[in-house]
C-alpha cells in the first residue's frame, strides 16, 4: 500500500454493496430535476460523514423511479434522467395503480442489497438516508423514518390521522407506529419478505409491521411539498384507512356480532319483562313510537353489520381474482 496515502477507504468497485432508492412518482414531472439535484451528493458518495462522527461506507447507488401512470411529462423526464445518468432507472406502469402498488413494483425491480423507499416530492429529506444506512450497517433490517413534526398540514387531517392510528392499534395485533410513513430502508431480506405478500389490496405500513425483523427508527423533519399538490385527498385517505383496518383485522366483524348479541339479550330481557307485566297488569296497548324507534334502530344496526360483512366479502372477491398488483409497461427504455 502506498505509504503516503493516509486516508484511503475506497474499496474496489466490485466489493461495494448496492443501495437502491425506490421512488414512486405520480405527476411529479415538475419536481424530478430538483429531486435529482438533491440526490446527487448522496449518489456521488459525498454524504458519508454523519453529524455524530460516524461514517458510512461507499456504495453503488441505483435510483429506481416508478412512474405510476402519470398524466404529465414524468415519463419523458425519466427518460432524460436515465440518458444523462445510467444510475437512474425507471419502471413505468401501464396506468395509475396507486402508491401502494407502485412501491411493490419498485421493490420487485430494485437490485440493491438494501432498498430505501422515499417520496418524489422531497418531503423525505435525503439527509436522513445516510443515517438510515448507518443503522443498517450496524445490523438493523428495517430502518424506518419517524417524523419529528408533521410539516404543514391541516388541524383536521392531523387529528383524524392520530385518532385513526390509535383505533388501528387497538383493532389489530400489529404494532402501528404513529408518525411513521413509507420512508424507510429495507434490507434485502425484508424486501423479499414484502414481495412475497402479493395481496392486491395493500396497506404497506401494516405489511412492514407484519414481516417483523429487527427494526430501528431514524428521526426526520418533514419538508413541505415544493411542487405540485398532494394526491391524497380526504376521500383517498379514508379509503386507505378502511384498507388498513380490513386488511389487518377482523375486529369489525366481531364488533358486529357483539352488538348483535347484546341487542338480542336486551330484547330477550325486555320480552320476559313484557310477558310478566302483561300477566300481572293486563295489556294496555300503547307505544307505537317506541315500536318505530326499536324497528329503525334494529334495521340500522342490521344494515351496518351487513355493510361490514360486505366490506370483507368485497375484499375476498377482489383477492379471489388473483390479479397482479400492477402491470409494468416499460423498464429502462424497453417494453416489459
Ligand atoms: N404517488 C404515486 N401514485 C399515486 C399517488 C402518489 O406513486 O397514485 C406518489 C407521489 O408521486 C409521491 C408519493 O406517492 O412520490 C406521496 O404522494 P403525495 O406527496 O401526493 O402524498 P402525501 O405526501 O400528501 O402523503
Ligand atoms: Mg408528499
User: Tens digits of per-residue pLDDT, 293-316?
Assistant: 788 888 888 888 888 888 889 889
24 compared with 275, residue with greater pLDDT: 24
Is the CB–ligand 1 distance for residue 239 below 6 Å? no
pLDDT at 292 (0 to 100): 80
Task: Check residue 13 and report its DSSP letter.
Answer: G
pLDDT at 3 (0 to 100): 44
Which residue in 96, 244, 121 sits closest to 183, CA to CA? Answer: 121
Atom of ligand 1 nearest to the CA of 181: 25
Residue 162 neighbours by CB distance under 10 Å:
13
What is the C-alpha to C-alpha distance for residues 326 and 199, in angstroms, rounded to an integer? 11
Q: How far is the CA of 121 from the centre of ligand 2 (A)?
A: 6
Atom of ligand 1 nearest to the CA of 123: 23
Q: Tell me the angle at which helices 188-195 and 99-109 cross, rounded to the nearest 10 degrees.
A: 130
pLDDT at 11 (0 to 100): 55
Residue 155 neighbours by CB distance under 10 Å:
7
Residue 13 has pLDDT above 90, yes or no: no
Q: How far is the CA of 76 from the centre of ligand 1 (A)?
A: 19
- Looking only at the bridges linking them, the beta strands covering 142-147 and 215-220 are parallel
What is the C-alpha to C-alpha distance for residues 28 and 45, in angstroms, rounded to an integer? 25
Q: How far is the CA of 123 from the centre of ligand 2 (A)?
A: 6
Residue 92 neighbours by CB distance under 10 Å:
24
- Alpha carbon 207 to its chain centroid, in Å, reads 8
Band of residue 5 on the pLDDT scale cut at 50, 70, 90: very low
Residue 230 has pLDDT above 80, yes or no: no
For the sheet containing 59-67, what is the strand order? 215-220, 142-147, 180-187, 114-117, 17-25, 59-67, 88-93, 328-331, 334-335
The residues placing their C-beta within 5 Å of ligand 2, an ion, are 121, 123, 225
Which helix (DSSP H) or strand (DSSP E) does residue 218 occupy? Answer: strand 215-220
Is the CB–ligand 1 distance for residue 232 below 6 Å? yes
Q: Whose CA is nearest to atom 25 of ligand 1?
A: 232
Is the CB–ligand 1 distance for residue 26 below 6 Å? yes
63 compared with 9, residue with greater pLDDT: 63
Is the CB–ligand 1 distance for residue 123 below 6 Å? yes
Ligand at shortest distance from the CA of 31: 1
Residue 193 has pLDDT above 50, yes or no: yes
The three state secondary structure string of 74-106 is HHHHHHHHHHHCCCEEEEEECCCCCHHHHHHHH
- pLDDT tens digits for range 141-189: 999 999 887 656 778 888 888 888 888 788 777 777 778 889 999 999 9
Band of residue 226 on the pLDDT scale cut at 50, 70, 90: low
Q: How far is the CA of 67 from the centre of ligand 2 (A)?
A: 15
Q: How far is the CA of 203 from the centre of ligand 2 (A)?
A: 17
Is the CB–ligand 1 distance for residue 121 below 6 Å? yes
Is the CB–ligand 1 distance for residue 231 below 6 Å? yes
55 compared with 164, residue with greater pLDDT: 55
Range 90-111 average pLDDT: 96
pLDDT at 1 (0 to 100): 43
Mutate which of 26, 75, 77 for ligand 1? The one with the most ligand atoms within 8 Å of its CB, which is 26
pLDDT at 63 (0 to 100): 96
Q: How far is the CA of 90 from the centre of ligand 2 (A)?
A: 19
Mutate which of 24, 95, 105 for ligand 1? The one with the most ligand atoms within 8 Å of its CB, which is 24
Residue 18, strand partner residues: 60
Band of residue 325 on the pLDDT scale cut at 50, 70, 90: very high
pLDDT at 160 (0 to 100): 83
9 neighbors 58 (Cβ within 8 angstroms)? yes
- pLDDT tens digits for range 65-83: 999 999 999 999 999 999 9
Amino acid at each position: 500500500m502506498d505509504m503516503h496515502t493516509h486516508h484511503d477507504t475506497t474499496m474496489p468497485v466490485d466489493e461495494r454493496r448496492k443501495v437502491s432508492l425506490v421512488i414512486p412518482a405520480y405527476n411529479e414531472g415538475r419536481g424530478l430535476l430538483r429531486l435529482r439535484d438533491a440526490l446527487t451528493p448522496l449518489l456521488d458518495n459525498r454524504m458519508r460523514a454523519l453529524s455524530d462522527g460516524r461514517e458510512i461506507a461507499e456504495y453503488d447507488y441505483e435510483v429506481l423511479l416508478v412512474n405510476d401512470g402519470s398524466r404529465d411529462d414524468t415519463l419523458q423526464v425519466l427518460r432524460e434522467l436515465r440518458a444523462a445518468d445510467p444510475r437512474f432507472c425507471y419502471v413505468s406502469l401501464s396506468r395509475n395503480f396507486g402508491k401502494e402498488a407502485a412501491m411493490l413494483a419498485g421493490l420487485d425491480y430494485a437490485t440493491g442489497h438494501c432498498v430505501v423507499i422515499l417520496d418524489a416530492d422531497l418531503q423525505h429529506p435525503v439527509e436522513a438516508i445516510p443515517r438510515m444506512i448507518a443503522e443498517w450497517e450496524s445490523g438493523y433490517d428495517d430502518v424506518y423514518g419517524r417524523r419529528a413534526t408533521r410539516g404543514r398540514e391541516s388541524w383536521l387531517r392531523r387529528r383524524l390521522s392520530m385518532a385513526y392510528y390509535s383505533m388501528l392499534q387497538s383493532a389489530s395485533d400489529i404494532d402501528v407506529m404513529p408518525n411513521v410513513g413509507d420512508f424507510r430502508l429495507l434490507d434485502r431480506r425484508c424486501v423479499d419478505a414484502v414481495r412475497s405478500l402479493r395481496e392486491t389490496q395493500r396497506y404497506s405500513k401494516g405489511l412492514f409491521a407484519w414481516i417483523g425483523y429487527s427494526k430501528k427508527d431514524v428521526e426526520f423533519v418533514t419538508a413541505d411539498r415544493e411542487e405540485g399538490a398532494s394526491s391524497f385527498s380526504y376521500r383517498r385517505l379514508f379509503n386507505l384507512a378502511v384498507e388498513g383496518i380490513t386488511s389487518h383485522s377482523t375486529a369489525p366483524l366481531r364488533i358486529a356480532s357483539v352488538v348483535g348479541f347484546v341487542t338480542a339479550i336486551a330484547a330477550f330481557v325486555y320480552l320476559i319483562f313484557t310477558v310478566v307485566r302483561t300477566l300481572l297488569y293486563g295489556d294496555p296497548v300503547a307505544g307505537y313510537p317506541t315500536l318505530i324507534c326499536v324497528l329503525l334502530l334494529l334495521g340500522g344496526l342490521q344494515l351496518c353489520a351487513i355493510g361490514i360483512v360486505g366490506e370483507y366479502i368485497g375484499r375476498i372477491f377482489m383477492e379471489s381474482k388473483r390479479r397482479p398488483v400492477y402491470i409494468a409497461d416499460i423498464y429502462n427504455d424497453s417494453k416489459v
